[in-house]
Structure 1
């Protein structure tokens, strides 16, 4: 049975702030993406998730829209952008809501003389996405400091996961792998060490300078496209395969860092997917390695990571 019943359509249209056929490009760092059937922003996404699940309406949660490639054909159902950005500090522990950006949380920690989270200044996404992906940068990752996560499993209700239950690995988690389909992250608690906040801010400033020097952060991109293979660098492999600067339409493999794909303006998801598959094919042919995408493709007809 289709979710598009008159009752569901009427309920969706009556939601405060809802927009129909909303282009999603503006809500991603790639600036790529077709329309959502319905789109809204929420500080209390758990309520919407529970209601959508009860009604059989497909939904997708969205944070900062980094590490994400949205299909040109858009996304079916409802896209809920999480804008719950609260935080509290209790001694060495910090509780952050899912919509808070990692960069902002890194600064908050330093302001409270807590250290061990400086690496997060290089992660442009939100807490919710960071939990699902076990985000990391500069040799650190969320699993190093994560205590627990509170959220919701549709059809079951509220749930709290200890960090050890989440199967956190290199840019992966049981949440991302679908262990609890449709699960929502509401808050994450991290534990840090007391220290010199001023020194931490200085370290973050230096890391930011280095990031500006080595990555095309002023361009429209999704961040790292591929995971680094053990003991090697995806960017090095792609460059060695002769693809630095390769183009498809308005999409280009960055000349500054080959593990980034840039949207020069008007690039489509199809353009990016073609470059992704070209890089995987060329690296496999030359080095016998299969690059695993870090970027997640979503929406109608979105495919990434297929063999070719």
Structure 2
């Protein structure tokens, strides 16, 4: 028996079904999570007949629109060409903008399905464009392309905007293509051969997880054992810490850890303080941390992201969803 999240992951992992539009209905308020997975809409239960009717209308309109509009915002000519060549397709109309002002003007004039922008826009205006998009164009998915690590201030803006904006930050051409085809709902069979090969490499699930070292920080031995069993079955190496203080010691001892699963409520040092201390060390600023939250409340999510988490998942942990999140952050 599978829940909607597991079905969604299966659909979006399968090249035959990945382009099919999915509209979520759920009693949980996880709208942004669904849209980051590629959902075209989200209805929060209980759903009225009027809302359901609007949802079906949205699906009909989406299916009827065969030509997708992609806006690429980049001011460097070689980079512009690289991105355009990477994502171009038969049913994709690409428009280029060199400045945030040009991008906003284009968005006001043409219905846009996806935005790709380079973090290296002049005078760091690229990351600031996010705040404008969040205010006026939050319905459009955004892909932030950065071939460097984001600064702490950029990460802070990114996390803040992610509360209302469907945004993915990527660092590799393969991930850029993967997210663009997801949000543009392109049929993989219609892509160029080199594009299909790149996507096959991205979705090689076993290769992304195999031989990676994960630190689990949790004072509940039952949770730790359950997670360890699942991860070791996927050829991952697992290190365990029982609280935040112990986690810091383990990170110093195991400098090759690839990802941290951090419980928030622990004795001696909780997850919030531990994440804050981890991010205070320059060599751990880019270490992926997924927070394990007891609730799915918006305030809890914001608090854990501000403390230094890259992402979060609520307990009891849905293993399929956790593995999906881990793949995303390990592939970056």
TM-score, scaled to structure 1:
0.30
- Point out which structure has higher relative CO (alpha carbons under 8 A, 6+ apart): 1
Structure (1/2) with the larger helix percentage: 2
TM-score, scaled to structure 2:
0.28
Structure (1/2) with the larger strand percentage: 1
